[in-house]
């Protein structure tokens, strides 16, 4: 890929985002925010790519030094327009007008790069320098693409983690529902067993009563037959005798059955187990990604001027009349005198020193958070017959915790 194609790829993508933004309405706030965020990132990446890799090479060349200063001023103006548009509400009617101004400024910036900057680069720089700048810009683009892929992968991983967490909670809720349904079925089955045993006990208890009633009825019929019709009319009927003998038994049994909300248990020696359950609060912890802090170091070049005092020595030759005509030195011989002229020139050296350090670390803090929930548990109420003689009432005994 050539330097020209690299520098034209950024404006092409930005123009596409400009067109999509221009087609949105004031009511499409979410769409405008998404597209503007992409446009802002693209413009910043395009200008930073030039400032990091192209401008330092052009600044060292006298022919392109002035172009670099103008390009930096254009980039500052472009960033100011982007910041102004970023501060504008996306449903503001002035958004479209300011977006149009930003688009015009960016198109002028791209035209200057294409008509002035690129031809100057091709004239002033050698093929090796252009190739070096191209390779650096390609590496920067590849690094940015990799960063986007990493960020997208991180978002997908976070979404996958949230989806798995939701599925886990759904499975836990389903298991709880299944356990609750099973508990209800077990309780209904236990109640049916209790009712069946109660009916068996009641049937077993009524068999002697029925036998006694039958015997009394037979005795009554035999007595009636022996005494005759008149005597039979004076004697109580078989039904009256049966009611007289069996009424206390039947009344007591019916009263006990009527007052007791629980059916009688089985015969002596049997037992029934009633499970009592309770809910226990279990509070766990999970780690969520709250965002990524990205720190990028980049080089900023600042023009610096210094004044230095320079000295120069030049040979001055002048002819003058001697004060006296007396010969004081050697004359009439060949003589050569050499005097060196000197001139101080500025020398520039750059020394790298450590200006400051950026320390990046994570700090862990703790907080106590109160979790409120309502727990349920089973209680049991026991009713036993009163110990008073002759009383068939039941009394309730509260369960012990």
Nearest Cα to Cα of residue 73 among 60, 57, 85, 55? 55
Q: Across the strands, what pairs with 384?
A: 395
Average pLDDT, the chain: 78
- Alpha carbon distances (Å) from 302 to 33, 47, 51, 69, 286: 34, 16, 11, 10, 48
Half-sphere exposure of 202 (CA within 13 A, CB side): 16
What does the pLDDT read at residue 180? 92
Between CA 11 and CA 108 the distance in angstroms is 11
What does the pLDDT read at residue 228? 59
Which helix (H) or strand (E) segment holds residue 82: the answer is: helix 65-87
The reported pTM is: 0.38
Between CA 249 and CA 252 the distance in angstroms is 5
φ, ψ of residue 398 to 5 degrees: the values are -65, 150
**11 within 8 A of 19, measured Cβ to Cβ:** no
Between CA 49 and CA 6 the distance in angstroms is 10
Contacts of 2 by beta carbon, 8 Å cutoff, 6+ apart = 134
Q: Across the strands, what pairs with 385?
A: 394
Between CA 217 and CA 205 the distance in angstroms is 19
Per residue in 50-95, pLDDT tens? 888 778 877 777 777 777 888 888 888 888 988 988 898 888 888 8
Per residue in 222-259, pLDDT tens? 766 766 555 444 444 444 444 554 545 455 445 544 54
What does the pLDDT read at residue 326? 78
User: Which pLDDT band holds residue 261 (cuts at 50, 70, 90)?
Assistant: very low
Contacts of 118 by beta carbon, 8 Å cutoff, 6+ apart = 3, 4, 7
Between CA 102 and CA 21 the distance in angstroms is 12
Per residue in 84-133, pLDDT tens? 888 988 888 888 888 888 888 888 888 887 787 777 777 777 777 777 77
Per residue in 131-181, pLDDT tens? 777 778 778 777 777 877 888 888 888 889 899 999 999 999 999 999 999
Nearest-10 Cα torsion for 105, 108, 114, 115: -150
Contacts of 250 by beta carbon, 8 Å cutoff, 6+ apart = 209
What does the pLDDT read at residue 245? 47
Per residue in 274-321, pLDDT tens? 888 888 888 888 888 877 888 888 888 888 888 888 888 888 888 888
């Amino acid at each position: 890929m050539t330097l020209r194609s690299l520098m034209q790829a950024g404006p092409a993508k930005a123009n596409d985002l400009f067109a999509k933004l221009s087609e949105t309405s004031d009511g499409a706030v979410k769409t405008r925010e998404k597209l503007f965020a992409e446009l802002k990132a693209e413009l910043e990446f395009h200008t930073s790519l030039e400032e990091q890799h192209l401008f330092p090479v052009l600044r060292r060349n006298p022919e392109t030094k002035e172009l670099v200063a103008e390009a930096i001023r254009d980039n500052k103006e472009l960033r100011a327009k982007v910041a102004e548009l970023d501060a504008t509400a996306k449903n503001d009617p002035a958004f479209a007008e300011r977006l149009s101004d930003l688009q015009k400024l960016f198109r002028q910036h791209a035209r200057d790069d294409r008509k002035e900057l690129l031809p100057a680069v091709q004239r002033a720089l050698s093929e090796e320098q252009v190739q070096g700048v191209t390779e650096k810009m390609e590496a920067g683009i590849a690094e940015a693409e990799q960063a986007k892929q990493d960020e997208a992968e991180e978002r997908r991983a976070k979404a996958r983690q949230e989806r798995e967490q939701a599925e886990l909670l759904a499975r836990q809720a389903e298991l709880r529902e299944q356990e609750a349904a099973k508990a209800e079925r077990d309780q209904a089955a236990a109640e049916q067993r209790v009712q069946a045993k109660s009916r068996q006990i009641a049937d077993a208890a009524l068999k002697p009563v029925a036998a006694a009633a039958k015997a009394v009825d037979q005795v009554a019929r035999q007595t009636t037959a022996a005494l005759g019709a008149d005597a039979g009319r004076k004697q109580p009927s078989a039904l009256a005798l049966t009611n007289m003998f069996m009424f206390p038994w039947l009344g007591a049994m019916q009263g006990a059955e009527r007052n007791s909300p629980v059916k009688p248990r089985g015969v002596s020696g049997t037992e029934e187990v009633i499970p009592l359950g309770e809910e226990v609060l279990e509070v766990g912890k999970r780690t969520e990604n709250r965002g990524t802090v990205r720190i990028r170091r980049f080089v900023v070049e600042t023009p610096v001027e210094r004044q230095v005092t320079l000295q120069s020595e030049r040979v001055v030759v002048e002819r003058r009349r001697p004060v006296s005509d007396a010969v004081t030195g050697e004359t009439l011989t060949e003589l050569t005198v050499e005097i060196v002229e000197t001139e101080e020139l500025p020398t520039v050296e750059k020394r790298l020193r450590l200006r400051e350090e950026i320390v990046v670390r994570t700090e862990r803090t703790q907080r106590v958070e109160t979790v409120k929930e309502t727990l349920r548990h089973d209680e049991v109420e026991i009713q036993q017959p009163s110990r008073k003689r002759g009383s068939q009432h039941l009394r309730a005994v509260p369960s012990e915790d």
